[in-house]
Amino acid sequence: MSDSRRSCRGLLPLLLIVVAGGVIAGCNIVVPVAYVLEGPGTIPAQYELRETSTAVFVDDPNTAFPRTSLRSMVGVRITDDLISSGTIPSSMMVDSRDVLALARALETSDSRVSIERIGREAGVEQVIYVSLDGFAMTLDGYTPRPTAVCSVKVIDLAAGTRVFPIADPKGLEVVGQIREVDPINFESFAKRRRVEDDLAMDLGKNVGFLFYEHERVDLGENLGVR
């Protein structure tokens, strides 16, 4: 999918990830009904970031993604989109790849480093934290439908608190999905990696959408050809 996901509370589930070979385990992806029913238009930002020094930290605490390089792709896409949309000036954004390298340097085999410390060490006042929760090439074990899910929250280090989302400490769920994929793309390692790369980029795009106004996807693209 190419639209950012909202919280699943109060929405009728259209799709539920099941535990199966190659299917996201331990994570439910709920697709809002509004995403299918609504047509073109603009969607406002769900949260307006403070214009201050900012870092995007993409975490994969449970090794949900098949390759570590995909973390960098998600972070770079978010960072680039925030800059290109005019949400945060490039002079205030820290390269997300540097943030990943910093996190690796700070972590030990015995303990994980906190988001707050990563932000302080990176010299920023605002951290967009993205926790990668699931990644699969199919939802039912048969039909190609690459899907990735993450949780997003914003930490204001100057205020010493989470500022988005306010209600859910786990973060806001965001889904990325490539609706139509030719099965031939799974026949070789190289082609499969390209699909994985595209999925990571789509997820990063949808995370960025949380923070600036953007165009809604066309209705026809939502419905697609199954």
Task: Retrieve residue 186's tokens.
Answer: 């799974």
Structural element, H or E, at residue 204? helix 189-209
- Full-model pTM: 0.79
Name 148's bridge partners.
135, 176
CATH of domain 33-223: 3.40.50.10610
Q: Would you tell me how many other CB atoms lie within 10 Å of the CB of residue 63?
A: 9
Condensed to tens digits (0 to 9), the pLDDT of residues 37-93 reads 445 688 999 999 999 999 999 999 999 999 999 999 999 999 999 999 999 999 999
pLDDT at residue 132 tops 50: yes
DSSP 93: B
What end-to-end distance do the CA atoms of the chain give, in Å? 13
Structural element, H or E, at residue 130? strand 126-138
Q: Measured in whole angstroms, how far is the alpha carbon of residue 71 from the centre of its chain?
A: 10
